[in-house]
Chains A and B, each alone.
Chain A
Amino acid sequence: QKEVEQNSGPLSVPEGAIASLNCTYSDRVSQSFFWYRQYSGKSPELIMSIYSNGDKEDGRFTAQLNKASQYVSLLIRDSQPSDSATYLCAVIAGNTGKLIFGQGTTLQVKP
């Protein structure tokens, strides 16, 4: 079992819709969770971090964490074509400080 798993997609949504991206992780002691956005040919860019159960909102982005289910999600409201990118879920593994990535989900927002 991979430590961090995502559906590779592509996930296709129409402009203005809500995009929902999901991630599961295997290490129960993980405490820090991140979503990165990566445009083609570019480096990953941190867009959300979450450390506690529940929701965290930042503009059009909402991160959700459920430690009991070992599940992290990212909601993008009012999706725009400029949101089309690969979204990487990442987890700091246990107490090591190492950031472990999922394989990424490709999001396509169609005008």
Chain B
Amino acid sequence: NAGVTQTPKFQVLKTGQSMTLQCAQDMNHNSMYWYRQDPGMGLRLIYYSASEGTTDKGEVPNGYNVSRLNKREFSLRLESAAPSQTSVYFCASRDKGQGNYGYTFGSGTRLTVV
């Protein structure tokens, strides 16, 4: 099925470990986004990529890096995980076509840092 695929779905890390969250979309969308969601905080933008080859910081970029590998894939890397990065991470892509500017979200990655 067409959509946004995130891997892994669940992950437990120890403080200081690194990992990469993967995201791929097959809808030919130009723009891709990484959000984190914490209880009572809504979704907060970490990084985004308006088009292949470009990335920009969002509201909460500290402690993260991203790579827009190609038009389909946008990865999020935690170089040295901290307990404050325990969260649910959502990847999204955007259709800028006529009449639809909404985002499509992946199913999320639930990350716990102990």
A: residues with CB less than 8 A from B are 4, 8, 32, 34, 42-46, 49, 51, 88, 92, 97-104
| A104 / chain B contacts, CB cutoff of 8 Å | 42
Residues of chain B whose beta carbon lies under 8 Å from any beta carbon of chain A: 31, 33, 35, 40-45, 48, 50, 58-59, 90, 92, 94, 96, 100-108
Contact for A44 among B31, B48, B90, CB less than 8 A: B90
Chain B residues in 8 Å Cβ range of A99: 33, 45, 92, 94, 103
Using known A-B contacts A43-B107, A92-B101, A97-B94, determine if residue A103 contacts B41 with beta carbons closer than 8 Å: yes
30 A-B contacts (beta carbon < 8 Å) = A4-B42, A8-B40, A32-B101, A42-B108, A43-B105, A43-B107, A43-B108, A44-B43, A44-B90, A44-B105, A45-B105, A49-B100, A49-B101, A49-B102, A51-B101, A88-B42, A88-B43, A97-B31, A97-B48, A97-B50, A97-B94, A97-B96, A98-B45, A98-B58, A99-B45, A100-B45, A101-B35, A101-B42, A103-B40, A103-B41
